[in-house]
Amino acid sequence: MKSYRSYILVIASVVIFLSCNSKQNKPHNQTYNSIGLELDSLHLELEAIKEKTIIPGFSVAVIHDDSTIYRRGFGQSDILNNNNFTPETIHTIASISKTFIGVSIMKLVELGKLNLDDPINEILPFKIYSPHYPGTPITVRHLVTHTSSLNDDFDDGEKRPSQLIESSIYAKNEIPQSLAQTIYYYDGVKLELEDFMKEAFTPDGKWYAESNFSQFRPGDKYEYSNEGSNLAALIVEVIAGVPFHQFTRENIFEPLQMNNTSWFYGSLDSTFSKVYVLENVDLVSELYEFPRHSESNYPCGDLKSSMIDLTKYLAEIGRGYNGEGTILNSESYKTLLSPQLGREKFEDIDEGPLNDEYNVGVFWAISKPGLVLHKGGSIGVYSILYFDPENNMGAIAYCNLAHQDFGKIVSVIRKYQTKMALKLKQ
């Protein structure tokens, strides 16, 4: 009787899981049969979070080997139009974008066009050096390991070098003053990447200041840098002779058939998620839609993609880690995904599996247990993508409101990914 009941539970689990998302990739039957109950429990806990959280929508995926064993959207991508968040929904992935800079850099290294220890001033059409250590060259390796000393604290004036590509749906008297001011700040003029870098980090630039560089000698300390990442993307442009967005399309998106991935909204279809912010109104937090905008420094965090496309990318990273990648060779992947710095470069001593400041490869974080990952956060976005080499598994999640409940989503994913890994080893 007991074995018969277990059989019925497994069959019911399969039916429930497949009916939840008929468009997601179906795992191999043998693999699913061993972890079906864990997948269903993952789904139920994520559904429970969806019912309680203020986050309008989010999406989750888990992979094993080359198979997507779970991929699902939850909640709404657009509250006003009542659109569901699905694996097809295109969403900004924030700083996970930097991993694509890393792949691009290693592609140029692989082609013999670049060395990680090349000084950037031997590449760029202008000079950048730390005013605190003018005799110490900043190298490509410094950029890709966040040790360049370029920081993100410069003052870019009354308006940001970005521009709104849609109007706010609110009249000014319908939203808090703080939100109206933020929207105004983002409604500036977008620059080309090269012009943006020159204005911020060369002595004649209008946003230049010595404080744009941290006090440490380049190479001496890990300090996460969006602008160092953007400068690395510009180096890709200079060496390749094509815009960074074109290089990534030709060398990453197209080979992996990531057909709904782009740095710019105009290159994609209309299945975008809106992004949302919380504002306090009379001591009550209320949800507001933030208008889409386009950034001058887009490489560090402005990539748009769908969960379907990102599972293709994560599967390729897994293959690359195992020496079977297709867009880089095995040596390039080893450099991309291996620790590059000694512990003395870091102040963070968190040894947790998802800590992204324990060590770093080429723009890929590496945690103490060896997970390869990247997190992201920006207006209306929290995101995470990680690969677990020990178990050949990985996971992705992102949401359309930067809210602490995203941590609950990630914790649930990690919990069941770990349980599934144990089952798959049996």
Sequence-distant (≥ 6) Cβ neighbours of residue 240 within 8 angstroms: 108, 113, 247
Identify the pLDDT of residue 281. 81
Q: How many angstroms from the chain centroid is the CA of residue 145?
A: 16
Q: What is the Cα–Cα distance from 177 to 175, expressed in whole angstroms? A: 6
Alpha helices by DSSP H, listed for 21-162, are 29-52, 98-110, 140-144
The stretches in the chain having pLDDT less than 50 are: 1-28
Map out the domains of the chain with their CATH numbers.
57-425 (3.40.710.10)
Identify the pLDDT of residue 22. 35
Kind plus residue range of the DSSP H or E element containing 374: strand 372-378
Q: pLDDT tens digit string along 68-116? A: 999 999 999 999 999 999 999 999 999 999 999 999 999 999 999 999 9
Q: How many angstroms from the chain centroid is the CA of residue 136?
A: 31
As a whole number of Å, the end-to-end CA separation of the chain is: 25
Identify the pLDDT of residue 24. 42
Closest among 149, 116, 147, 118 to 131, alpha carbons compared = 149
Which pairing describes strands 359-360 and 57-64: parallel, antiparallel, or unpaired?
Answer: unpaired
Identify the pLDDT of residue 271. 85
User: Which pairs count as long-range contacts for 128-134, CB under 8 Å and 24+ apart, including other chains?
Assistant: 128/197, 128/201, 128/202, 128/231, 130/213, 130/217, 130/218, 131/210, 131/213, 132/210, 132/213, 132/215, 132/217, 133/217, 133/218
Sequence-distant (≥ 6) Cβ neighbours of residue 246 within 8 angstroms: none
Identify the pLDDT of residue 34. 83
